[in-house]
A = this chain, B = another copy of it.
């Protein structure tokens, strides 16, 4: 029987092991699952490259969003690995696993990687896992309910923000003072004040406080 190659990249080894046992034991119709595991960005990337070179790329790549806690220098996330995987192994189906449903992250990944699947870990069980494998192979996409809700939230608006707007919202959300934003956002102070006012209008929270703005933006997946 044909064997189906899956790679899981996650720094929670135990979690991966659970997936591995479930999928390798399960009785799929046309194949038997063979799952490899890696626990870091670099080793994951290397494994993907190796298998591509051997002309036997992974059928499915499972990526945790939060990989290795910030290494020296800058951190490489599961999202980054997803982007790279698409390039070096374009025939592999990519599925993201995230610990919680983060509207912004999901939407960002939809644009940068456009994965065949997206699962929020609290929603994963044996059924969901095996379903995912079948769906992703034959008729993608597969999204768990919470992922779908995040996607729906975003789709239901046609607000378009440029880089400055996004940065502004982000720095606002981490408590940066308006006057300090000139360092991060390429606008003058009055420019920033203006944009902020506009953003409140766009999100329907005119004349309200910043908290309301951040909440609205988070709900719709912009932060």
Chain A residues in the interface with B (C-beta under 8 A): 107, 110-111, 114, 139-141, 143, 145, 148-149, 151-152, 154-158, 160
Contact = CB atoms under 8 A, between A and B. Distances in A.
A145 B138 CA distance: 12
A223 B160 CA distance: 18
Contact of A152 (B114, B154, B160): B114
A182 to B, nearest CB: 26
A167 to B, nearest CB: 16
A79 to B, nearest CB: 14
A152 to B, nearest CB: 5
A107 B158 CA distance: 10
B160 A155 contact: no
A212 to B, nearest CB: 21
Given A141-B148, A148-B143, A111 B155 contact: yes
Given A143-B148, A154-B155, 9 more contacts: A107-B155, A110-B155, A110-B156, A111-B158, A114-B156, A141-B148, A141-B149, A155-B155, A160-B160
Nearest to A146: B139
Contacts of A110: 152, 155-156
Contacts of A145: 139
Contact of A111 (B114, B149, B151, B157): B157
A139 B123 CA distance: 13
Contacts of A149: 141
Nearest to A116: B152
A157 B157 CA distance: 14
Pairs A-B, 7 closest by C-beta atoms: A114-B156, A160-B160, A110-B155, A141-B152, A111-B158, A110-B156, A139-B145
Nearest to A142: B148
